[in-house]
Structure 1
């Protein structure tokens, strides 16, 4: 797995914590720099685009890579053709959320959690969201805001926005820059499920 980060961002410590967590689950994880060529993704089974990158520099660089991609950076969603282009309508960030509304509990991305309200943050924190195209499976939304999807995924070959076809799985999950450490057990389960599903794992490597 390759996690793309901005190495000179002080918040890279949050990405290192995610790397350590994933390694305890059996994944082999490399931190890659957003300044390096996109070809660095070659040979990996999953690319993760952290929200601690500088999105206006990265834009759609990884849009067409034939490798599964997961992100929690809402400002990349339009560039990745995962949503429309208008900030505040097609993608954005809610500043203080605590819960998600799980609407597709049978899907593997739902981590076996029950439908309805689930507490994902220990305290109120920012939550990224998008309004995906018709080819997406929407798993959860902001509570009370059905157009603000906080977990959604596209299968390979699904139609995303702008009639773009997903070259491999594409997934959005609700985290923000430093909210990984604020996840509840349910929030952590949803994060892990997003990693596993996007990478094509029915269970973690160990």
Structure 2
């Protein structure tokens, strides 16, 4: 009788542990992002939007961010408001964590584009983009010409090379990518494979207050795709 009671207790304990294990596995994975930028209004609005998307935001400066620190996060977002693109340089080049860049000069350090400012990367003024790949998840279901600013604002652009997916460009120049991406394993312009998804997004922090609903849809889609959460 005593042996039967012990066996029953063991079975009940196994069932209980299994239930706990299943309960833990059913819990949604925590979404975390390192935000690298500055203290402008645009930075504040961008961080707030990331929070609205369910991300726990950790702020770091361009000097503080390292490959080792990034490894424990779901995503890294690098804004063009950083104090120096050189402080980022090739950090994260081989880090298997998705990264979104809104700093085109940093892309040049990472073999995505050439190094000549205003030719290989830079910025221009406007309010409209042209969707080139409406079927890509980052197009957010949009197509053709889309106003992403309510009035003229700054666009960051990059002229990318390698196995890149170009989702949106400048309306008058197909070479100027405003939203583009490298999937995991896709090769950059010198043939090195991306260790995780890499995205370039046009948004300038100084003009984010003019961002339209369509612009935010594209932003959200870029975040979801980069983090493989679409």
- After TM superposition, the score normalised by the length of structure 2 is 0.81
Per the alignment, residue 51 of structure 1 pairs with 80
Number of corresponding residues: 196
Instruction: Measure, in 1, the Cα distance between the counterparts of 2:65 and 2:48.
Output: 24
Structure 2: gaps spanning 5 or more residues: 1-32
Alignment of 1:61 onto 2:88: no
Describe the SS at the equivalent of 1:178.
helix
Higher helix share: 2
Q: Does 1:150 align with 2:182?
A: no
- What do the CA deviations read for 1:73-103 (whole angstroms, capped 9, x no partner)? 1111111222222222221111x11100001
Which residue is 2:25 aligned to? none
The unaligned stretches of length 5 or more in structure 1 are none
1:72 aligns with 2:102: yes
Moved over 3 A (4+): none
In 2, Cα distance between equivalents of 1:141 and 1:101 = 5
**Which structure is richer in relative contact order (CA contacts within 8 A, separation 6 or more)?**
1
Q: Counterparts of 1:78-117 in structure 2 under 5 Å?
A: 78-94=108-124, 96-114=125-143, 116-117=144-145
Cα deviation, 1:118-171, whole Å, max 9, x if unaligned, reads 000111011011111130100010001111010000001001122221111000
Aligned residue number for residue 40 of structure 1 = 69
Instruction: Tell me if structure 2 keeps the 8 A contact 1:84–1:162.
Output: no
Per the alignment, do residues 131 and 49 of structure 1 end up closer, same or farther by CA in structure 2, a change over 3 Å counting? same
Q: Give the equivalent residue in structure 2 for 1:31.
A: 59
Instruction: Output the TM-score relative to the length of structure 1.
Output: 0.90
